[in-house]
Amino acid sequence: MSEQTAHLAVDRLFEAPAPHLTVEFQGGEPLLAFPMIQLLTRLIEDRAALEGKRVTFTMTTTLHHASDEILGFLRDHDFQVSTSLDGPSDVHDNNRPLPGASSYQRTRQAIERAKAVLGTERLSALTTLTRRSLQAPEPIIDEYVRLGFRSIFLRPLSPFGFAVRSARKLAYPTEEYLAFYERGLRYILELNRSGIQLEEAYAATLLRSILTPFPTTYSDLRSPVGAGFGTLVYNYDGSVYASDEGRMLHEMGNDSLRLGSVQQSYRELMSSDTMRMLAATGLAEALPGCSDCAFVPFCGPDPAGSISRSGDPVGHRANSEHCQRHIGLFNILFAHLAEARPEVLQTFTTWVHRSAPLRLAA
């Protein structure tokens, strides 16, 4: 990203009406452009102070390039840092081969260093679940517990980008993912029952929609659609996309989720044809299939997925991975809610409200 693009992106950011902004840096590997991150952070902090807005910084990084200086910077500017951890060494190294080295070892060391500087609260990890990972959830979950993480996100491989190219090697049918998820969730609930506190982030997100009156902040399940209405992506080359998937679609030669460029005003970007298209097709309650679905109050539309699969943003639920996956997840969670085992309900409510019930807290 050039300095000029950076300045323009910050201008656009603060033209948005939201009083509280979350700025996420992602790549590639964002730490390879650390001076740019420093610049952006400074620009955004100064501007936020001026305009009286609240900003939260987050970053997704392998941490491999995180020196103590970088970690100190992330701590001082209150970053929420998310790194990649796919499981124990055999799984992780299989997913992320490094010629002549173990990426698992490097990640482990990086996590230890990061924890020492950032503390456990600011550090979380994301799993990439490949076909290989699906063999067994337990070792992956155990690895998270062993490294002291309080949360694990068992989400399937994104059907975009890198994943598409290596799809044959890594991808898997949704049913296989769901079977894996169900088994993994059961295992996590068992752990919680035995006193090990670990949250499954996907369940926590969906349950927050189901068990509270508040709308989700999770961009993939918002209705009206999160893309564009809740998130914007400023690319290093100055393009503006409605979501990360929009950027990946672009790499696949499809510009349907591109809003324009940072040189245009926020107003112009938000009234682009792309945003009109998203507004017209981004309400799950009005989409064929979704409008009659029992789960629609907790679900959201998936225009990016529909575009990539069928070329149009409405798509067809019958062959939507997003739909199959979420119907499956809702079935699993509602089965637990219907079964209503007290210790499971207690774990769920603890995840949802991020606090333990009083009788246990005392």
Contact residues for other proteins, defined by CB under 8 A: 212-214, 349-350, 353, 355-359, 362
Span from 8-16, 174-182, 212-220, 287-295 in contact with ligand SF4 (CB under 6 A): 287-295
Round to whole Å and give the CA distance between 156 and 129. Answer: 6
Q: Of the candidates 139, 140, 136, 120, which has an alpha carbon nearest to the alpha carbon of residue 128? A: 140
What's the closest the beta carbon of residue 215 comes to other proteins, in angstroms? 12
Residue 323 binds what, of ligand SF4, other proteins, none (CB under 5 to 8 Å, by partner type)?
ligand SF4
| Shortest Cβ 213–other proteins spacing (Å) | 5
CA dist 331 and 285 (Å) reads: 19
| Residue 324 near residue 334, CB atoms below 8 Å | no
- Our separate counts of H helices and E strands in the chain read 17, 9
| Contact between 336 and ligand SF4 per CB under 6 A | no
Distance from chain centroid for Cα 185:
18
- Decide which of other proteins, ligand SF4, none touches 214; Cβ closer than 5 to 8 Å per partner kind: other proteins
CA–CA distance, 308 with 250 (Å, rounded to integer): 11
CB 323 within 8 A of CB 289: yes
Q: Which is nearer to other proteins, 316 or 353 (CB)?
A: 353
CB of 360 to other proteins, least distance (A): 8
CB under 5 to 8 A by kind: which of other proteins, ligand SF4, none does 76 bind?
Answer: none
Residue 81 is a binding residue for ligand SF4 (CB under 6 A): no
| Binding-site partner at residue 349 among ligand SF4, other proteins, none, CB < 5 to 8 Å by type | other proteins
CB of 198 to other proteins, least distance (A): 19
- Residue 79 sits in the site that holds ligand SF4 (CB under 6 A): no
**What residue has token string 């789960």?**
295
Residue with tokens 């210790």: 343
Q: Quick one: which segment of 70-78, 232-240, 255-263, 323-331 binds ligand SF4 (CB under 6 A)?
A: 323-331
Instruction: Choose between 288 and 311: whose C-beta lies nearer to ligand SF4.
Output: 288
Cα–Cα nearest to 202, from 230, 181, 187 = 181
Q: Which is nearer to ligand SF4, 197 or 331 (CB)?
A: 331
Alpha helices in the chain (DSSP H): 3-15, 34-51, 68-76, 89-95, 103-118, 137-146, 162-165, 167-170, 174-193, 201-211, 244-251, 266-270, 273-281, 303-310, 321-339, 342-353, 358-361
Q: How far apart are the first and last CA of the chain?
A: 51
Report the nearest approach of other proteins to the CB of residue 350 (Å): 8
- Please identify, among the stretches 66-74, 137-145, 177-185, 319-327, the one whose residues bind ligand SF4 according to the rule CB under 6 A: 319-327
Under 8 Å between Cβ of 58 and 81? yes
How many angstroms separate the CA atoms of 137 and 87, rounded?
A: 9
Among 290, 314, 344, 352, binds ligand SF4 (CB under 6 A): 290
For ligand SF4, the binding residue among 110, 154, 233, 284 (CB under 6 A) is 284
CB of 357 to other proteins, least distance (A): 5
CB atoms within 10 A of CB 115: 17
Q: Which whole-number Å values give the CA distances from 171 to 34, 131, 323, in the listed order?
A: 32, 6, 17
Residue number with CB closer to ligand SF4 (38 or 331): 331
d(CA 126, CA 48): 29
Rule CB under 6 A: choose which of 314, 327, 333, 344 binds ligand SF4: 327
List the single partner that 238 binds among ligand SF4, other proteins, none, CB under 5 to 8 Å by kind. none
Shortest gap between Cβ of 87 and other proteins (angstroms)? 32
Site residues for ligand SF4 per CB under 6 A:
284, 289-290, 293, 295-296, 299, 317, 322-323, 326-327
